[in-house]
Amino acid sequence: MSKAPRVNNGEDATSNALAMAVLNSVQNPVVLVDAAGKVAFANWEAEAFFGSSAAYLAKNKISTFIPFGSPLLALIDQVRERKAPVNEYRVDLSSPRLGSDKLVDLYVAPVVSEPGSVVIVFQERSMADKIDRQLTHRAAARSVTGLASMLAHEIKNPLSGIRGAAQLLETVVPDDDRPLTQLICDETDRIVSLVDRMEVFSDERPVDRLPINIHSVLDHVKAVARAGFARNIKITELYDPSLPPVYANRDQLVQVFLNLIKNAAEAVHDQPDAEIVLTTAYRPGIKLSVSGTREKISLPLEFCVIDNGPGVPSDLVPHLFDPFITTKTNGSGLGLALVAKIIGAHGGIVECDSQARRTIFRVLMPMHKEEASDGRSLHSTGSEQ
């Protein structure tokens, strides 16, 4: 680690150690850039953000680690000139070094005791934006709930009458016209099937939940896929065997991952090296605020379905979980909307990162908690039997 920032009481070791501890506790990348443009200090989050140790960062200028012509460099000059802090929102720092989707909010401030030096705080926007989109998806799903209820009552009954009339006509029309009556029956059945699928959104009854071993769910879904729609596709597992259970409804999780794996299989079906990768991991740090309360739910369980297909069009990604959004010729656009509804009802979120040859559907969910005898909440680490 590079040298600690100076504090008001000089070189007192205890104060410097405290300053270091505070900066390393901040969950955002923080760097100190000196008058020569070199990185004089970087906290632990900054090391992770730049993918380099503080010692390596200290040997280089900040311009080495950010894209050429980045607005950040102009912000640093502006702060030095004005000697006042500046905020800049939604700055894109994406690069081969930092990776894609590096959208950040920046806070740049001068360091009074070190002329020419500035401190930079990075706030990553990508996860916040994804969670905001997820809340929008849930609102869209609720609107479909009302629409589904209306369709069930107002459309299915007259459709039944239309189908019955077509069957009666079939007995009296000439043979040449019978394909028309059959067409009426087939199209009526198709509409009823679509309405039946939408009725799932209107089912708000509480579901039974248990501590579930996610690997048993994924193994079941994988077996179904290999016996059917993914028969000729390589499926690879990268599992964390020590993962704690998730508190969920097993049947609904099966439905979620069947949808995701089927979508992946359809995306790679014409790839000569078609592959689907299933991963599970423990990722602490992601928290979701509960509306109307100060409570925050931790979402440390990460389950991913990854494919090497052509990717999702970039303009479609923000709306991918909205109802009736689909890239399939004959798709209804309800599969991913249902996935978002189920995961949202379990207190989790689902997101998509997509580029050519690598599309990731990532499900983040809370882990199962057990109540101790004194009422305290304990994290369970056992597996479903």
First-to-last alpha carbon distance for the chain, in angstroms, is 46
* CATH of the domain spanning 13-124: 3.30.450.20
* C-alpha atoms less than 13 angstroms from C-alpha of 56 in its C-beta half-sphere: 10
Please, which pLDDT band fits residue 309 given cuts at 50, 70 and 90?
Answer: very high
Examine domains 13-124 and 210-379 and report if their fold is the same.
no
| Gap between the Cα atoms of 139 and 135, Å rounded | 6
Q: Can you give the pTM of this predicted structure? A: 0.54
Domain boundaries, the chain: 13-124, 128-202, 210-379
Q: Name the nearest CA neighbour of 213 among 244, 254, 249, 257.
A: 244
Please, which pLDDT band fits residue 80 given cuts at 50, 70 and 90?
Answer: very high
**The domain made up of 210-379 is a member of CATH 2.60.40.10:** no
| Gap between the Cα atoms of 305 and 276, Å rounded | 7
- Give the DSSP per-residue string, 124-146: E-HHHHHHHHHHHHHHHHHHHHH
Question: Over the stretch 171-189, which tens digit does the pLDDT of each residue have?
Answer: 888 888 888 888 888 888 8
Predicted pLDDT of residue 1? 43
Residue pair 36/61 in contact by the 8 Å Cβ criterion = yes
Question: Over the stretch 23-36, which tens digit does the pLDDT of each residue have?
Answer: 877 778 999 999 99
**pLDDT at residue 145 is higher than 60:** no
